């Protein structure tokens, strides 16, 4: 079967909305690491399938932010990790289904990100910290010191235990320092260092950032933690007020015990026949992008038009609404009824390519403009 893919310009507002929503879906679907921020739309292919909807293949350039994926803060409000902290960048091959009802579903995504090489960072900033292996003794010990400091100064009803070390770095000048970031889990109040996780601590309860300056024996420890909604607290605690210069007792770290993850049941969405609820006080209207084929990028750019559901050509200023589905944002195919009648209409099932399209775009607008400055 021949599948006709149409290239799509990267500078259209509906495409930008769809790309931002796709990044939101990706961040909500992930359970480890840091949230991604959309940096640039590199390429787009459209597979128009009539009543089954439109399938968009989006090549999106992303940057790692400082927000953990469990943080309730939207990725648009998260700070992108700067160059001085070893920036992490890459791209996501993202497939999104936009239905005739105006809903957008995430079908699949494949993200590949890599940190900047240390040689590149040292050439520009010789005193900047370099990444450490997460299992290095220096990183693990710094995480234990900073978390111990937080527990001794915190007024939370429960203690916190190390859940997962997510990032570690160190520098030797002008002052030796180790920087760590890690998730924490809630545990019953008891002896520090002998924390027993509670039944509800399968997911992380918060995210902490700590720093240990000078040497480990006589260290200046700084730590701040963002507590998620696990304990009904949604604030950032910073316990870096004046503290003793020397820690007399360092608790031994207890290895994490295996945690059984409870699977959340997946709700299969049913596409409503009525229009979806309004997002910005307007009824959602699905959008298509009609691109007339041409031999040059210049002529293709001049023939870009948005087409409304009724077939009327609209101007570029007409906003196309991208709506979240009412249930789950991941696309799930409909289940076939066992005892369906003969007269029942077969549902319109969209088709998805097994391989992500890689043909270059004929439009000068692709790749699009970068939202952030990278070195």
Check which CATH number belongs to the domain holding 173 and give it.
3.10.450.10
Which residues fall within 8 angstroms of residue 54, CB to CB, at 6 or more apart?
Answer: 46, 47, 48, 97, 98, 286, 288
Using DSSP, state whether 277 is helix, strand or coil: coil
Check residue 320 and give its pLDDT.
47
Number of domain units in the chain: 2
* Phi, psi dihedral angles at 185 (to 5 degrees): -125, 150
Check residue 203 and give its pLDDT.
79
Q: Do residue 107 and residue 11 come from a single domain?
A: yes
* Phi, psi dihedral angles at 123 (to 5 degrees): -65, -35
Q: Is residue 185, in this structure, part of any structural domain at all? A: yes
Q: Do residue 103 and residue 143 come from a single domain?
A: no
Q: Is residue 363, in this structure, part of any structural domain at all? A: no
- Taking 50 as the pLDDT cut, the residues of the chain under it are 191-192, 231-236, 241-320, 340, 343
Q: Do residue 189 and residue 88 come from a single domain?
A: no
Q: Is residue 127, in this structure, part of any structural domain at all? A: no
Q: Do residue 108 and residue 150 come from a single domain?
A: no
Q: Do residue 213 and residue 180 come from a single domain?
A: yes
With 0-12 CB in 10 A as exposed, 13-18 as middle and 19+ as buried, what is 113?
A: middle
| Residue 94 β-bridge partners | 58, 109
Residue where a domain stops, chosen among 238, 255, 283 = 238
Check residue 111 and give its pLDDT.
97
Check residue 37 and give its pLDDT.
98
Q: Do residue 104 and residue 73 come from a single domain?
A: yes
- Nearest Cα to Cα of residue 15 among 62, 54, 65: 54
**Kind and range of the H or E element at 7?**
strand 6-7
Q: What is the DSSP string of 237-255?
A: EE--SS--S--S--PPPPP
The whole-angstrom separation of Cα 264 and Cα 100 is: 28
Tell me the whole-structure pTM to 2 decimals. Answer: 0.71
Q: What is the DSSP string of 72-104?
A: SS-GGGSPBPPGGG--EEEEEEEEEEE-TTSBE
Check residue 344 and give its pLDDT.
55
Q: Do residue 141 and residue 213 come from a single domain?
A: yes
Using DSSP, state whether 168 is helix, strand or coil: strand
How far, in whole angstroms, is CA 103 from its chain's centroid? 20
221 and 241 in contact (C-beta within 8 Å)? no
The whole-angstrom separation of Cα 367 and Cα 53 is: 25
Residue where a domain stops, chosen among 196, 219, 238 = 238
Q: Which two tokens stand for residue 307?
A: 């087409």
Residue where a domain stops, chosen among 216, 238, 260 = 238
**Kind and range of the H or E element at 345?**
none
The whole-angstrom separation of Cα 21 and Cα 16 is: 9
Tens of pLDDT, residue by residue over 91-142, are 999 999 999 888 999 999 999 999 999 999 999 999 999 999 999 999 999 9
Q: Do residue 155 and residue 194 come from a single domain?
A: yes
Q: Is residue 365, in this structure, part of any structural domain at all? A: no
Check residue 205 and give its pLDDT.
86
Q: Do residue 164 and residue 71 come from a single domain?
A: no
Q: Do residue 109 and residue 138 come from a single domain?
A: no
Q: Do residue 84 and residue 186 come from a single domain?
A: no
Check residue 331 and give its pLDDT.
67
Q: Do residue 59 and residue 142 come from a single domain?
A: no
> What is the domain extent for residue 230?
134-238
């Amino acid at each position: 079967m021949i599948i006709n893919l149409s290239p799509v310009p990267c500078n259209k507002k509906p495409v930008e909305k769809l790309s931002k929503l796709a990044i939101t879906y990706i961040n909500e679907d992930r359970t480890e690491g840091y949230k991604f921020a959309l940096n640039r739309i590199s390429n787009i292919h459209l597979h128009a399938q009539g009543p089954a909807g439109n399938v968009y293949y989006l090549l999106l350039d992303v940057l790692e932010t400082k927000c953990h994926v469990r943080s309730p803060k939207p990725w648009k409000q998260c700070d992108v990790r700067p160059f001085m902290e070893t920036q992490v960048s890459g791209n996501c091959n993202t497939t999104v289904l936009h239905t005739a009802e105006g809903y957008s579903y995430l079908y699949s995504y494949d993200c590949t990100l890599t940190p900047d090489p240390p040689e590149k960072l040292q050439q520009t900033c010789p005193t900047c910290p370099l990444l450490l292996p997460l299992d290095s003794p220096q990183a693990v010990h710094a995480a234990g010191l900073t978390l111990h400091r937080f527990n001794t100064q915190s007024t939370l009803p429960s203690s916190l235990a190390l859940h997962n070390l997510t990032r570690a770095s160190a520098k030797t000048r002008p002052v030796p320092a180790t920087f760590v970031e890690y998730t924490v889990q809630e545990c019953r109040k008891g002896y520090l260092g002998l924390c027993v996780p509670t039944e509800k601590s399968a997911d992380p309860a918060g995210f902490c950032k700590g720093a240990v300056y000078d040497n480990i024996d006589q260290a200046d420890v700084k730590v701040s933690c963002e507590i998620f909604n696990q304990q009904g607290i949604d604030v950032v605690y910073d316990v870096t007020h004046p503290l003793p210069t020397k820690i007399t007792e360092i608790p031994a770290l207890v290895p994490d015990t295996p945690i059984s993850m409870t699977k959340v049941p997946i709700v299969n969405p049913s596409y409503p026949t009525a229009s979806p609820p309004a997002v910005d006080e307007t009824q959602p209207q699905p959008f298509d992008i009609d691109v007339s084929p041409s031999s040059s990028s210049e002529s293709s750019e001049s023939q870009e038009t948005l087409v409304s559901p009724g077939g009327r050509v609209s101007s570029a200023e007409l906003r196309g609404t991208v709506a979240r589905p009412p249930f789950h944002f991941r696309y799930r195919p409909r289940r076939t009824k066992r005892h369906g009648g003969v007269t029942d209409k077969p549902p319109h099932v969209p088709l998805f390519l097994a391989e992500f399209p890689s043909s270059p775009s004929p439009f000068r607008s692709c790749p699009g403009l970068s939202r952030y400055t990278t070195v």
